[in-house]
Chains A and B, each alone.
Chain A
């Protein structure tokens, strides 16, 4: 799943005929000033300015300012750009018009096993969270499009009536068109508002999750995907992603600040069991990592260097199940190179390494790992006869 920031998300909705507020995304005050000369609405409307970054709780951080005139919007932009929040620097601000409205509603489309589900409620904002039973659903099979009648029924079931029921049905229909055509996995508009003046439904705030795997058939997806966990990706994470995009197989790396148990396991499935074992033993994860699909040794080496560079780590868990086709000797070769490099840079002092693995050329790979003992590594190597996550138990008991 790939999260999309508000700007490009609203762009996609607009493409499918959904009303969105006027907005601009700027990287400097000068840009906003120039846009102000070209776009009358910026001067006429009340405005909202928000940091356009993958940040959680922007409101609390003062990175959302509402009810601004153009001058105030310029001032807010100036203040936000360049602000440092944790590892993220604010580089973009989205300035949009405030939509005067009375009523707030809710509309979403989500992916289900059978196809998708359209959700509609005649309440919106935070109200919908506490009144989840008011959300009505229309389930659709894959390949099936909602009929105007079924959408109107959904709208009426959710408590809309008259002309508004029709409008909401149309809005939901457009949401589905956007969802289906853009390979979305989740689209949520909360709130949908009834604009004062023309009584049109407008999408005020949106969550857009697209299927990153479908990028190949969307040449107009000219935006970067945002991190999904309320912070931007770190430099190290981006470097691993860059490697991942270049290779056969995969390498993954996410930092978890404050942990002391570093993870370097193989396999998307086993890696989570290893993480579970650390947590179950009361350990603190320093990262998530995973390599799989027989990646080249140099890619595993890069991943290893990142893992070894995590601050304050005491153990590294080089775990893995019995591989089907990932060459244990080759991938361990990458890990060993990474360890050697880290050691030569003065890292891995007082760090214990725990290895468990099976698969093609497991004996050669494990022997090579064992040989690191002679080079002064504090390393403990186990084969398939030691159950998968036992090395975590051993590591965390060894304190």
Chain B
């Protein structure tokens, strides 16, 4: 048996994330004792109509969220207990709502910092209705082997270590949330564990005091002794002593009280929980409480450390008198399924990775590119071309190579509004399309006829150089197998109207006095082709391709240089149109050659 919380307890949780966290802990306990989840509903108006997903074993249970207690109990008429996790300023309203619902018999408030007056009103209201209001600031209530309300009991491992999966013989009542677990643990190590443990909250005037719960424990035959952990301040411990001393009680009472340190502290200095305040006339001191409890016949160990042995002594007496028997431990207990991460850490599972990367890792405090931390690269003077080198070719390129890349990017960043890419972006911008989609529209244009020849140009020049082909051999090979040479030819530029970008780039690379076999070969090709036709010159794609192959970039990365550079221009065009608030554009009829058949009659449908 147990008190307050048992196998029939069905819970509604009022509140948001804190309530969901509590429900997870409660689900762990339900899983341990092999019972269905005792949480049936949440009440949280902002999320009404949604569900909260609570892990149970290796699965998830969807728990509905309602806008009011009334709605929750209408859908779940077996609800009888509410846990309040609402903020201090709205806690009273929430608590009242729960108390006023005829289904709800127990309300436990976890919220801290609730005004004293509100707590008193809630407590008085519950007493009037014959219900239980526990808290505020309660860590929760747990009945071993039966029911957990709130996070009391701690993590799953602690539930097992503290033998909360089966009933013991000790009741526990504490003000302190942290100490509740400590006492539960002590009861499981020095005795046979607990029946029910209740956190009543550390406020000055908790809704329900020791006496009410002592009365319940007295009527619970399974509970043979009760441990109370008191604090200075108020008179709850004195009232407990009064109750215990009033007549012969079935349960044994073991009690400790904190706050003896006050006696040797500077006058007026107080600390601990809100309720831990000594009265004006010395009432409520640790000593007066401790003395009152001793006088009532309770076992009062001198220090907290002596509590374990005191519990042990009580348990031994109970064993000797035959009131309790040594507990039988279950042969096996459910183990909480581990998350994949936990299981991997424990070397219990192997997971085949979905993807593999060899270039970057941001699992630390900052991204590392090919192993180099980004901030260190910055601080040591590296620039964007070096990052490109690391991410595209997994190597730290030289200063000179970086300069070449920088120039390539500067030369290909934009080519005016009329080219396919920029025009597509502008068209999209004028249609009111967003930045990323408009830039993507321009990007889609990059292909065999616009900007997309860099990779192929590089591939074929490299093929010729690697195979030591002559220009003639190369041209013959291309004609036979592939067609026109990528990187050669321009729509408007020609020998007489050369592309200044090409001249600039070639001039710079040549001035460096490094070996440029691909570039040299491409220029030789140009000499032959431009004789055949004036505009079959080495274009900017071909030049970039040859130079980049010469400085060692892999062929497959080459189009990337154009894509990356031109993105700068495409973004510029989008921002430009946006800034001008450009209107929607469409083609004028005179820009279209309407070569479609003339208007004619539609024949009847056959």
Contacts and interface: CB of A to CB of B under 8 A. Distances in A.
Interface of A: 1, 56, 111, 113-115, 132, 141-143, 180, 183, 185, 211, 213-214, 216-217, 228-230, 252, 254, 256, 266-273, 275-280, 285, 288, 290, 292-293, 320-326, 358-361, 384, 387-390, 393
Contacts of B155: 359-361
Contacts, number: 192
A216 B88 CA distance: 9
A111 B205 contact: yes
Contacts of B544: none
7 contacts: A269-B178, A272-B261, A272-B272, A276-B303, A280-B302, A360-B154, A388-B305
Contacts of A326: 178
Contacts of A272: 231-232, 258-259, 261, 271-272, 276
B261 A270 contact: no
A293 B25 CA distance: 15
Interface stretch (B112-120, B442-450, B452-460, B470-478): B112-120
B271 A115 contact: no
A268 B25 contact: no
A114 B179 CA distance: 27
B178 A292 contact: yes
Nearest to A110: B280
B185 interface: yes
B282 to A, nearest CB: 12
A111 B204 contact: yes
Given A269-B177, A280-B260, A322-B182, A230 B154 contact: no
Contacts of B181: 321-324, 358-359
Contacts of A185: 116, 204
A108 to B, nearest CB: 9
A270 B269 contact: no
Given A183-B117, A276-B303, A324-B180, A230 B175 contact: no
Give the interface size class of chain B. Answer: 35 or more
Contact of A267 (B179, B232, B235): B179
Given A1-B277, A267-B176, A143 B235 contact: no
Nearest to A292: B178
B303 A389 contact: yes
B132 interface: no
Contact of A211 (B115, B261, B308): B115
A150 B273 CA distance: 35
A270 B256 CA distance: 12
Nearest to B257: A276
Contacts of A322: 154, 158, 178, 181-182, 185
Contacts of A269: 174-179, 202, 229, 231, 258, 272-273
Given A211-B117, A268-B273, A325-B154, 10 more contacts: A1-B277, A229-B269, A256-B265, A272-B258, A273-B258, A276-B259, A279-B260, A321-B181, A322-B181, A388-B305
A389 B161 CA distance: 20
B258 A228 contact: no
A276 B269 contact: no
Contact of B154 (A217, A276, A324, A390): A324
B178 A213 contact: no
Of A114, A115, A132, A269, the most chain B CB neighbours within 10 A belong to A269
A270 B277 CA distance: 16
B480 interface: no
A278 B140 CA distance: 30
B145 interface: no
Of A272, A276, A387, the most chain B CB neighbours within 10 A belong to A272
B116 A277 contact: no
A324 B178 contact: yes
A229 B116 contact: no
Contact of B271 (A132, A279, A288, A320): A288
Of A252, A266, A273, A293, the most chain B CB neighbours within 10 A belong to A273
Contact of B115 (A114, A214, A279): A214
Interface of B: 21, 25, 88-89, 112-118, 120-121, 123-124, 139-140, 151-155, 158, 161, 174-182, 185-186, 202, 204-205, 209, 229, 231-232, 234-236, 256, 258-261, 263-274, 276-277, 281, 286, 302-305, 308
A285 B266 CA distance: 11
Nearest to B21: A325
B437 to A, nearest CB: 40
A320 B178 contact: yes
Given A230-B268, A256-B266, A325-B21, A143 B154 contact: no
Contacts of A280: 260, 302-303
B126 to A, nearest CB: 12
Contact of A214 (B117, B140, B175): B117
A226 to B, nearest CB: 12
Contact of A273 (B121, B202, B269, B304): B304
A249 B265 CA distance: 26
Contact of A324 (B152, B260, B265): B152
Nearest to A228: B268
Contacts of B259: 272, 276
A105 to B, nearest CB: 18
B267 A230 contact: yes
A321 B178 contact: yes
A254 B269 contact: yes
Given A211-B115, A229-B268, A276 B178 contact: no
B177 A229 contact: no
A180 B116 CA distance: 11
B269 A323 contact: no
Contacts of A323: 154, 178, 181
Contacts of B117: 142, 180, 183, 211, 214
B21 A277 contact: no
Nearest to B177: A324
B158 A358 contact: yes
A256 B264 CA distance: 11
B120 A142 contact: yes
B151 A325 contact: yes
A23 to B, nearest CB: 25
Report the 9 A-B pairs with minimum CB-CB distance, sorted nearest first. A269-B176, A267-B178, A321-B182, A214-B115, A229-B268, A275-B261, A272-B258, A142-B120, A322-B181
A237 to B, nearest CB: 12
Of A56, A268, A389, the most chain B CB neighbours within 10 A belong to A268
A267 B177 CA distance: 8
Given A1-B277, A389-B305, A390-B305, A276 B153 contact: no
Contacts of B121: 142-143
B84 to A, nearest CB: 15
A320 B185 CA distance: 13
B306 to A, nearest CB: 9
Nearest to B260: A276
A280 B175 CA distance: 22
B256 to A, nearest CB: 8
Nearest to A144: B124
B116 A271 contact: no
B303 A279 contact: no
B188 to A, nearest CB: 11
A280 B304 CA distance: 11
A373 B256 CA distance: 35
B500 to A, nearest CB: 57
Contacts of B124: 114-115, 141-143
Contacts of B177: 267, 269, 292, 324
B202 to A, nearest CB: 6
B182 to A, nearest CB: 4
Nearest to B137: A268
Nearest to A180: B117
Contacts of A211: 115-117
Contacts of B152: 324
A280 B305 CA distance: 11
B175 A271 contact: no
Contacts of A288: 269, 271
Contacts of A359: 154-155, 158, 181
Nearest to B153: A324
